[in-house]
Amino acid sequence: WNYGSMLGMILIFQLLTGLFLSFYYVADGLVAFSSVQYIMYDINLGWLFRIFHFNGASLFFIFLYLHIFKGLFMVSYRLKKVWGTGLLIFLLIMMEAFMGYVLVWAQMSFWAAVVITSLLSVIPVWGQLIVMWVWSGFSVTSSTLKFFFVLHFLLPWLLMVLVMMHMVFLHSTGSTSSLYCHGDYDKISFGPYYWNKDFYNLLVFFIFFLLVLLKPFYLGDPEMFIEADPLTSPVHIVPEWYFLFAYAILRAIPNKVLGVLALLMSVLSFYFFLLFNNYTSCL
């Protein structure tokens, strides 16, 4: 279960780099984009923290998806509380990444905010009111940016609590294995095997640093270098690669309500695995 420990390390890495960036970022529509440029060009090592932070999100999602698929393969949904808290963490991280993307206040992030937040209007009766509440007005404005910045800053601390709950639930029962043998006689001590295994994490971080320093904006979009302009939209509104599956589902269905439902079910459907209990054990 190396992916879990790797995710913990990435979460702490993102917290530290994000905390540094928040010292200099200004959550105001007039100067948000300029403050990002200020961090990049005028703050000592600001460029380093910024490229580490936004590429760190990609690293986070790579291991998050590997962690989820390994959980499916190992029939980990039999651990109800672990699976439930894990999916909640995943949903919050998706929200967190989206709000962080908007904070740059560039063309692509601004219009992504307009498109995604307007999807809330499909909620019956209160939809329009909720959209206006999120926007803090009649369109995505500086107030929306402040709202997103506050949530983007606070959510990681909630994530830390949920991650601790996730681990408490996991270690109260023990994890799953490909052999489905869960007896204490199968378990080994942490040292030296697990400590050696965790050096794999350091190797991944080394490769990550290397790639980020060589190709810092490889996973970015050219529109992210253009300041947000409410009067002109980009030719194509494209999300980050880790949201492509959800956005493709949304755009594949012409009906807005059904598209949003399908988008939600692309993640929420994993909760249905909690209803299954068909696993074998050697105990």
Q: Which residues are catalytic?
A: 171, 175, 197-198, 240
- DSSP string across 178-213: TT----GGG---STTHHHHHTHHHHHHHHHHHHHHH
How is 37-93 classified by DSSP, letter by letter? HHHHHHSTTHHHHHHHHHHHHHHHHHHHHHHHHHHHHTTGGGSHHHHHHHHHHHHHH
Residue 271 CB coordination number (10 Å)? 14
- Gap between the Cα atoms of 137 and 144, Å rounded: 8
- CA–CA separation, 93 and 159 (whole Å): 8
- Residue 132 three-state SS: helix
Half-sphere exposure in the Cβ direction for 253 (13 Å, CA): 13
Instruction: Assess contact for 53 and 14: CB atoms under 8 A.
Output: yes
Nearest-Å Rg of the Cα atoms of the chain is 21
10 Å Cβ neighbour count for 109?
24
